[in-house]
Homo-oligomer: A and B are copies of this chain.
Amino acid sequence: MRIAILGGDGFIGWPATLHLSALGHEITIVDNLSRRWIDTELGVQSLTPMDSIQERIRIWRDVSGASLGFELINVADEYERLKAFLTNWRPDAVLHFAQQRAAPYSMKSDRHKNYTVNNNVNATQNLLNALVETDIDAHLLHMGTMGVYGYSTVGAAIPEGYLSVDVTLEDGSSAEQEILYPANPGSIYHMTKCLDQLLFQFYARNDGLRITDLHQGIVWGTHTDQTRRHDQLINRFDYDGDYGTVLNRFLIQAAIGYPLTVHGTGGQTRAFIHIQDSVRCLELALQNPPSAGERTKIYNQMTETHRIRDLAEMISEMTDVPVSYLPNPRNEADENDLVVKNDQFLDLGLNPITLREGLMDELLDVARRYKHRIDPGRIPCNSPWNRERAAGMNRVVEVDLSETPDKSVSMD
């Protein structure tokens, strides 16, 4: 299959590229390298030393014999160049990861909010528009997020994208209808993925585009079978307050003996998936495209849920590094339950890698190997969600630890 990977230089895009290339697909990466620019802007670097995309591609050819194409295109801003690429290369599938993907970064300032909305919405709109115009009938696979479900949970397990509801009609009878799960995103970043959903819905119905949207949980891990094949193929590993996701951040902190930073009570329950499973899910979704005229196919791309506090305690026990409770910069409920359906990928044969399988040790090894590259000052998240949370970030958190061992420590 000929596959264009938009955002193929990123955290998911790069291992996805290698995974699909190793399966024999012909790949072209389309990327404006914006994630590298954001590293420069923030003055942080991936824990793992990351070569240029051109060098990575050269190494992959040496290791695997497979060539990868690379097009430097800003998908959000260079519509005509994107269209020309699609017209000429005619991919069978397009993987769309070409978006700003960190919630804290999206809340950092008004400039970051505008950038995230403008970049993410225009990237999706440009791509959909170009797929209609070029009429190449490529299957579009988009990386969405579990965060589109946001605050909407009503006590039911989260279905895969669509919710069945009963509506009372004028005559008093009721009718069942399947609707897109009501969006209630928690950040500007998550909101852009909700906007994406409506764009997909429209283009699937109006133009018959074949679209799959993957609502992914928090990805942990860094290696896949392919990134392990050469030091210079290593994936990026973010540990800073904006881009570092929670489990990876805990492991970094543990590696350098920095107290594990839990925001608020840590009562938030989140969905997780290992990066190896993430790329495997992409493979499965690619093998099962929707038909023209079918609504957007939505998968929940996650394998397990954990309460943040429990994860911190678990890693604390593994490593003897204490847990530190900090004010939560996010505007969210202190505690939430989360039950998520992921039957579709399980039915397609996904055999989930879970937290208990030793990969956390591997990850700790990575963190320890590169710990000289860590600037501990970059670990805290300094992007409050609103005025109230900004004011709260200087306050001490009151945590009811009656049901959890008190391991809080004070931090400067």
Interface residues of A (CB under 8 A from B): 79, 83, 110, 113-114, 117-118, 121-122, 125-126, 129-130, 132-133, 135, 151-152, 154-157, 163-170, 174-175, 177, 179-180, 182-185, 188, 191, 194-195, 198-199, 201-202, 205-208, 331, 339, 385-387
Asked if A202 contacts B207 (CB within 8 A), the reply is no
Chain B residues positioned under 8 Å from A202 (CB to CB): 185, 188, 191
Q: How far is the CB of A136 from chain B (nearest CB, A)?
A: 13
Asked if A198 contacts B177 (CB within 8 A), the reply is no
Q: How far is the CB of A119 from chain B (nearest CB, A)?
A: 11
| CB < 8 Å neighbour of A154 from B113, B133, B167 | B167
Name A148's closest neighbour in chain B (CB-CB): B198
How many copies of this chain does one complex carry?
2
Asked if B195 contacts A198 (CB within 8 A), the reply is yes
Asked if B110 contacts A132 (CB within 8 A), the reply is yes
Chain B residues positioned under 8 Å from A114 (CB to CB): 79, 122, 125-126, 129
Q: Can you identify 12 A-B contacts, CB atoms within 8 angstroms?
A: A79-B110, A110-B130, A113-B125, A113-B129, A118-B121, A154-B169, A163-B167, A170-B339, A185-B198, A195-B198, A207-B386, A208-B386
Asked if A174 contacts B170 (CB within 8 A), the reply is no
| CB < 8 Å neighbour of A195 from B83, B121, B188 | B121
Chain B residues positioned under 8 Å from A164 (CB to CB): 168
Closest 6 A-B residue pairs measured CB to CB? A165-B165, A179-B182, A166-B166, A117-B125, A155-B169, A156-B169
Given A121-B195, A129-B110, A164-B168, A201:B184 Cβ within 8 A: yes
Name A157's closest neighbour in chain B (CB-CB): B170
Asked if B183 contacts A198 (CB within 8 A), the reply is yes
Name A164's closest neighbour in chain B (CB-CB): B168
